[in-house]
Amino acid sequence: MRRTYEIDGQRVTLTCGEEEAGAADFLASVLRKEAARAPILTPGNLIQLGWNFFRVAENEGGLELLSPDYRKNPFCDATADLSQALEVFQGQMSALRRAGRPPVVDVSFQDTMVVRWSALQAPLVYLQRLTPARSPDSGWYLGTLGEPRSEEPKDYTRLYTYQLLDICPQGLALLPFPPGTLAVFDHGVLIEAVDGENQNLL
């Protein structure tokens, strides 16, 4: 579904599914606010909204936004279909609202996380956020519930956060939460999420 907005005297098209229409309207409102401050709607310009980076492109006498294509290689492939990008954004904003947290996202799709190899196949896993070491480390760790800690580097790998789309999609909603956050998943379904003081978040 193509949605067209007049922003700063330009026609801007956002393409997404009906379920992401509200997020598209919000994105358009952000663009209006930012365009009033600076000329951001320039072809080739990158605009960050939460976890995503959107690229401005020319299209049929107007402009459109492209998002990284997470189904391919988001570092070099882009798509005009913003559905997946906006779906992740909606999930993150919804989780933050439910937890009474400010709508601040400090993790992007290109940040990395440490993953226990066994967690890629285990039914019960947990996501835990530690203090990030240095960029692009997000501080997030995906481990297997009940498995003893290993000191062997070969038991771990480092992945990009966007790869949770294939491993544990519901975990994406928790990425903006601060260090100390711990969440448990059973076959990809969120069971419990607590903060650093063991208080329920969701």
Write down the domain spans for the chain: 2-98, 112-194
Residue 182 CA: distances (Å) to CA of 5, 43, 93, 162, 186: 40, 40, 18, 19, 14
Q: What are φ and ψ of residue 170, in 5° steps?
A: -65, -20
**What pLDDT is stored for residue 126 in this prediction?**
98
What pLDDT shows up at residue 55? Answer: 97
Q: What are 79's strand-pairing partners?
A: 67
User: Tens of pLDDT along the chain (202 residues)?
Assistant: 999 999 999 999 999 999 999 999 999 999 999 999 999 999 999 999 889 999 999 998 899 999 999 999 999 999 999 999 999 999 999 999 999 998 888 999 999 999 999 999 999 999 999 999 888 999 999 999 999 999 999 999 999 999 999 999 999 999 999 999 999 999 999 999 999 999 999 8
CA 155 to each of CA 71, 75, 117, 137, 152: distance values in angstroms, whole numbers, following the listed order: 26, 26, 6, 18, 6
CB 140 within 8 A of CB 107: yes
Residues 125 and 143: beta-carbon distance below 8 Å: yes
Amino acid 60: pLDDT? 84
